[in-house]
Amino acid sequence: MITSFRITLLCALITFNIISPVFGCGDFPPRDGFDDPDTSLTGTTYNPNYGYSVVIPKGLIGHKAAAPAPYHGFGIVLSWEPRSYLYVDGSYNSLDLESLQEVEKTHLDWLKDESGKIISVQHKNTKLGNLQARRYIAKHTCPKASGNFIDDYTFAFSKEKGIVYTVALLTTVERYEKDKRVLEEILKTWKLQSIK
């Protein structure tokens, strides 16, 4: 089941320009699709499909998937070289995961499969809006890129566990402290909203 889910997820995330480095370690996202004004987002953005809102910090532009793809979330390119990417997502809990620790383990298993080496992982319980959340910060290498990378992920379930919310930063060790400030701004403004 996980293998078929990963294939489905990979296809969906590539289509939506929302993906973790386990599928593009150190060089995601591709540059295509980031110049379409119809996919640009600024300021407060509300996702009626998955019921959340967030404020994109001033001076930054988010990009969502082009229609007719469903609106799961958006990504912000903080740097092309070295690659640094932040994304916000809401997706159905297709694996029927029961705990945030299971969500975290699933992502870390993917990272172990696709990265060069996981150097360290820090875990903690936290909040996303008013929801209980789990955050991990993984330092790792990538097979086709030099240097060390950081994946900083925060996950939360909707109240009935039908949706997994994700806010993630994928960056280099050198950029992490600077880029983490943007991540913290996004995390502070994330709010649960009604689904329409």
> In the chain, what are the domains?
2-192 (3.40.1000.10)
Structure confidence at residue 14 (pLDDT): 37
| Residues 6-32, mean pLDDT to the nearest whole number | 52
What DSSP state is assigned to residue 109?
Answer: H
Structure confidence at residue 33 (pLDDT): 63
Q: Which residues of 116-142 are buried (b: 16+ CB within 10 A; e: fewer)?
A: eeeeeeeeeeeebbebebbbbbbbbbb
d(CA 145, CA 54): 32
Strands 43-47 vs 163-172: parallel, antiparallel or unpaired:
unpaired
Report whether 167 contacts 128 (CB < 8 A). Answer: yes
Structure tokens at 45: 């953005």
d(CA 132, CA 124): 11
| Residues 179-193, mean pLDDT to the nearest whole number | 97
Task: Give the range among 10-14, 26-30, 39-43 with minimum mean pLDDT.
Answer: 10-14
Task: Give the range among 1-10, 65-74, 141-150 with minimum mean pLDDT.
Answer: 1-10
Task: Give the range among 89-93, 125-129, 145-149, 168-172 with minimum mean pLDDT.
Answer: 145-149
In the chain, what is the straight-line distance between the N-terminal and C-terminal CA atoms, in Å? 30
Question: pLDDT-based confidence at 93, cuts 50/70/90?
Answer: very high
Spatial strand order of the sheet with 43-47 comes to: 43-47, 52-56, 191-192
Confidence check: pLDDT of 65 > 80: yes
For the chain, the C-alpha Rg in angstroms (whole number) is 15
Structure confidence at residue 27 (pLDDT): 73
| Residues 112-141, mean pLDDT to the nearest whole number | 95
Structure confidence at residue 182 (pLDDT): 97
d(CA 118, CA 150): 10
